[in-house]
A and B are shown apart, each in its own frame.
Chain A
Protein backbone atom coordinates (compact mmCIF):
# COMPACT_ATOMS: atom_id res chain seq x y z
CA UNK A 1 0.00 0.00 0.00
CA UNK A 2 1.17 3.49 -0.69
CA UNK A 3 1.80 5.59 2.38
CA UNK A 4 0.48 8.97 3.34
CA UNK A 5 1.41 11.64 0.83
CA UNK A 6 1.58 15.37 1.42
CA UNK A 7 1.97 18.22 -1.00
CA UNK A 8 3.76 20.46 -1.35
CA UNK A 9 6.83 19.33 0.55
CA UNK A 10 8.26 22.82 0.98
CA UNK A 11 6.65 26.20 0.97
CA UNK A 12 7.81 29.77 1.53
CA UNK A 13 5.23 32.46 2.26
CA UNK A 14 5.23 35.96 3.67
CA UNK A 15 3.37 37.30 6.67
CA UNK A 16 -0.27 37.97 6.02
CA UNK A 17 -0.61 35.48 3.20
CA UNK A 18 -2.63 32.30 3.40
CA UNK A 19 -1.59 28.76 2.58
CA UNK A 20 -3.30 25.46 1.76
CA UNK A 21 -1.66 22.12 2.39
CA UNK A 22 -2.87 18.80 1.05
CA UNK A 23 -2.83 15.25 2.41
CA UNK A 24 -3.80 11.95 0.82
CA UNK A 25 -4.26 9.17 3.39
CA UNK A 26 -3.44 5.51 3.04
CA UNK A 27 -5.98 3.79 0.81
CA UNK A 28 -8.96 2.68 2.86
CA UNK A 29 -8.21 4.99 5.79
CA UNK A 30 -11.02 7.36 6.63
CA UNK A 31 -9.48 9.43 9.40
CA UNK A 32 -6.97 12.21 8.80
CA UNK A 33 -5.28 14.14 11.60
CA UNK A 34 -3.06 17.19 11.31
CA UNK A 35 -0.16 18.08 13.60
CA UNK A 36 2.25 21.00 13.81
CA UNK A 37 5.89 20.37 14.74
CA UNK A 38 8.17 23.17 15.89
CA UNK A 39 11.49 23.05 17.77
CA UNK A 40 10.00 24.92 20.72
CA UNK A 41 6.60 23.25 21.11
CA UNK A 42 7.24 19.85 19.58
CA UNK A 43 4.38 17.98 17.93
CA UNK A 44 0.95 19.41 18.62
CA UNK A 45 -2.45 18.20 17.49
CA UNK A 46 -4.39 20.54 15.21
CA UNK A 47 -7.56 18.65 14.24
CA UNK A 48 -8.96 15.35 13.05
CA UNK A 49 -11.42 14.59 10.26
CA UNK A 50 -13.46 11.48 9.69
CA UNK A 51 -15.97 11.01 6.88
CA UNK A 52 -15.76 14.71 5.96
CA UNK A 53 -16.54 15.83 9.53
CA UNK A 54 -14.20 17.44 12.02
CA UNK A 55 -14.32 15.23 15.10
CA UNK A 56 -11.74 16.90 17.30
CA UNK A 57 -9.79 20.11 17.43
CA UNK A 58 -6.66 21.13 19.29
CA UNK A 59 -5.85 24.48 20.88
CA UNK A 60 -5.03 26.51 17.81
CA UNK A 61 -6.56 29.82 16.70
CA UNK A 62 -9.32 29.96 14.13
CA UNK A 63 -6.79 30.92 11.44
CA UNK A 64 -6.12 27.21 11.21
CA UNK A 65 -8.86 25.30 9.45
CA UNK A 66 -9.30 22.14 7.49
CA UNK A 67 -11.63 20.02 5.49
CA UNK A 68 -11.94 16.52 4.19
CA UNK A 69 -13.33 15.35 0.89
CA UNK A 70 -15.44 12.32 0.07
CA UNK A 71 -12.34 10.41 -1.08
CA UNK A 72 -10.80 11.03 2.40
CA UNK A 73 -8.20 13.44 1.06
CA UNK A 74 -7.78 16.41 3.38
CA UNK A 75 -6.60 19.97 3.18
CA UNK A 76 -5.61 22.38 5.89
CA UNK A 77 -5.58 26.12 5.49
CA UNK A 78 -3.77 28.78 7.48
CA UNK A 79 -4.90 32.34 6.91
CA UNK A 80 -3.09 35.57 7.78
CA UNK A 81 0.22 33.82 8.28
CA UNK A 82 2.47 34.82 11.18
CA UNK A 83 6.18 34.22 11.60
CA UNK A 84 5.39 31.72 14.34
CA UNK A 85 3.48 29.54 11.89
CA UNK A 86 6.79 28.40 10.42
CA UNK A 87 6.79 24.68 11.14
CA UNK A 88 6.63 21.18 9.78
CA UNK A 89 2.98 20.30 9.21
CA UNK A 90 2.30 16.60 9.43
CA UNK A 91 -0.69 14.64 8.35
CA UNK A 92 -1.51 11.23 9.80
CA UNK A 93 -4.07 8.71 8.66
CA UNK A 94 -5.78 5.88 10.47
CA UNK A 95 -8.62 3.53 9.75
CA UNK A 96 -10.65 5.67 12.11
CA UNK A 97 -12.66 2.88 13.65
CA UNK A 98 -11.32 0.67 16.43
CA UNK A 99 -7.81 0.76 14.96
CA UNK A 100 -6.21 3.78 16.58
CA UNK A 101 -2.72 3.65 15.09
CA UNK A 102 -1.81 6.70 13.07
CA UNK A 103 0.63 6.69 10.18
CA UNK A 104 2.39 9.89 9.29
CA UNK A 105 3.29 11.44 5.98
CA UNK A 106 6.63 13.17 5.29
CA UNK A 107 5.22 16.58 6.16
CA UNK A 108 5.13 19.99 4.53
CA UNK A 109 7.81 22.38 5.72
CA UNK A 110 6.42 25.91 5.81
CA UNK A 111 8.64 28.94 6.18
CA UNK A 112 6.96 32.29 6.82
CA UNK A 113 9.11 35.35 6.13
Chain B
Protein backbone atom coordinates (compact mmCIF):
# COMPACT_ATOMS: atom_id res chain seq x y z
CA UNK B 1 0.00 0.00 0.00
CA UNK B 2 1.28 3.43 -0.93
CA UNK B 3 1.76 6.03 1.80
CA UNK B 4 -0.28 8.54 -0.20
CA UNK B 5 -3.24 7.53 -2.34
CA UNK B 6 -4.72 9.84 -4.94
CA UNK B 7 -7.29 9.16 -7.63
CA UNK B 8 -5.46 9.62 -10.96
CA UNK B 9 -8.55 10.76 -12.83
CA UNK B 10 -8.85 12.16 -15.40
CA UNK B 11 -11.44 14.52 -13.99
CA UNK B 12 -13.34 16.57 -16.56
CA UNK B 13 -15.51 19.51 -15.46
CA UNK B 14 -17.17 22.48 -17.21
CA UNK B 15 -15.76 25.95 -16.76
CA UNK B 16 -17.04 27.58 -13.57
CA UNK B 17 -17.52 24.30 -11.69
CA UNK B 18 -16.26 23.66 -8.18
CA UNK B 19 -13.56 21.00 -8.23
CA UNK B 20 -12.74 18.73 -5.31
CA UNK B 21 -9.41 16.88 -5.31
CA UNK B 22 -8.59 14.44 -2.55
CA UNK B 23 -5.85 12.30 -1.07
CA UNK B 24 -5.59 9.86 1.78
CA UNK B 25 -2.40 8.99 3.60
CA UNK B 26 -1.21 6.46 6.12
CA UNK B 27 1.87 8.01 7.77
CA UNK B 28 1.00 9.76 11.03
CA UNK B 29 4.36 11.58 10.95
CA UNK B 30 3.21 13.83 8.11
CA UNK B 31 2.92 17.39 9.41
CA UNK B 32 3.10 19.65 6.34
CA UNK B 33 0.68 19.17 3.48
CA UNK B 34 1.46 20.67 0.11
CA UNK B 35 -0.47 20.88 -3.13
CA UNK B 36 1.41 21.24 -6.38
CA UNK B 37 0.14 21.87 -9.88
CA UNK B 38 2.06 20.47 -12.81
CA UNK B 39 1.49 21.40 -16.41
CA UNK B 40 2.60 19.02 -19.11
CA UNK B 41 6.40 18.81 -19.41
CA UNK B 42 6.95 21.36 -16.64
CA UNK B 43 8.15 21.16 -13.04
CA UNK B 44 5.59 21.12 -10.20
CA UNK B 45 4.43 24.54 -9.04
CA UNK B 46 3.60 25.03 -5.37
CA UNK B 47 -0.05 26.05 -4.97
CA UNK B 48 -0.67 25.91 -1.26
CA UNK B 49 0.51 24.32 1.93
CA UNK B 50 -0.99 23.79 5.35
CA UNK B 51 0.53 22.81 8.62
CA UNK B 52 -1.31 20.16 10.65
CA UNK B 53 -5.13 20.05 10.53
CA UNK B 54 -7.30 22.89 9.34
CA UNK B 55 -8.29 24.99 6.35
CA UNK B 56 -6.38 27.51 4.30
CA UNK B 57 -7.80 29.70 1.58
CA UNK B 58 -5.96 31.52 -1.20
CA UNK B 59 -8.11 33.12 -3.85
CA UNK B 60 -10.08 30.43 -5.63
CA UNK B 61 -8.21 27.64 -3.84
CA UNK B 62 -8.97 26.10 -0.44
CA UNK B 63 -6.89 23.38 1.16
CA UNK B 64 -8.23 21.21 3.97
CA UNK B 65 -6.45 18.70 6.16
CA UNK B 66 -8.15 16.31 8.56
CA UNK B 67 -5.39 14.48 10.42
CA UNK B 68 -7.86 12.37 12.39
CA UNK B 69 -9.05 10.70 9.21
CA UNK B 70 -5.78 11.23 7.30
CA UNK B 71 -7.64 13.01 4.51
CA UNK B 72 -6.37 15.93 2.39
CA UNK B 73 -8.52 18.02 0.06
CA UNK B 74 -8.08 20.84 -2.41
CA UNK B 75 -11.09 22.79 -3.65
CA UNK B 76 -11.03 25.00 -6.71
CA UNK B 77 -13.88 27.47 -7.12
CA UNK B 78 -14.92 28.95 -10.45
CA UNK B 79 -12.59 26.62 -12.33
CA UNK B 80 -10.97 27.97 -15.49
CA UNK B 81 -9.55 26.22 -18.56
CA UNK B 82 -6.13 27.44 -17.39
CA UNK B 83 -6.56 25.23 -14.31
CA UNK B 84 -6.26 22.17 -16.55
CA UNK B 85 -3.22 20.38 -15.21
CA UNK B 86 -2.18 17.54 -12.94
CA UNK B 87 -2.62 18.23 -9.23
CA UNK B 88 -0.30 16.50 -6.79
CA UNK B 89 -0.78 16.24 -3.07
CA UNK B 90 2.52 15.99 -1.20
CA UNK B 91 2.64 15.62 2.56
CA UNK B 92 5.96 15.95 4.32
CA UNK B 93 7.47 14.16 7.27
CA UNK B 94 9.63 16.93 8.69
CA UNK B 95 11.92 14.36 10.26
CA UNK B 96 12.85 13.02 6.82
CA UNK B 97 12.43 16.41 5.10
CA UNK B 98 11.12 14.62 2.03
CA UNK B 99 7.88 15.11 0.15
CA UNK B 100 5.84 11.95 -0.47
CA UNK B 101 3.79 12.51 -3.58
CA UNK B 102 0.44 11.11 -4.56
CA UNK B 103 0.16 9.86 -8.13
CA UNK B 104 -1.54 13.09 -9.19
CA UNK B 105 -5.05 13.82 -10.49
CA UNK B 106 -5.31 15.03 -14.05
CA UNK B 107 -7.92 17.81 -14.28
CA UNK B 108 -9.48 19.03 -17.52
CA UNK B 109 -11.67 22.14 -17.39
CA UNK B 110 -13.81 22.38 -20.49
CA UNK B 111 -14.58 25.90 -21.82
Contact = CB atoms under 8 A, between A and B. Distances in A.
Interface of A: 4, 31, 33, 35, 42-45, 48, 55-56, 58, 90, 92, 100-107, 109
Interface in B12-66: 32, 34, 36, 41-46, 49
B101 A55 contact: no
Residue among B36, B43, B45, B46 with most chain A CB within 10 A = B43
A102 B99 contact: yes
Given A42-B104, A100-B92, A107 B43 contact: yes
B96 A104 contact: no
A24 to B, nearest CB: 14
Nearest to A107: B43
A58 B103 contact: no
Which residue, A43, A92, A106, A109, has most C-beta atoms of chain B within 10 A? A43
Interface of B: 32, 34, 36, 41-46, 49, 88, 90, 92, 94, 96-104
A74 to B, nearest CB: 14
A55 B94 CA distance: 12
Nearest to A4: B43
Contact of A58 (B43, B98, B102): B98
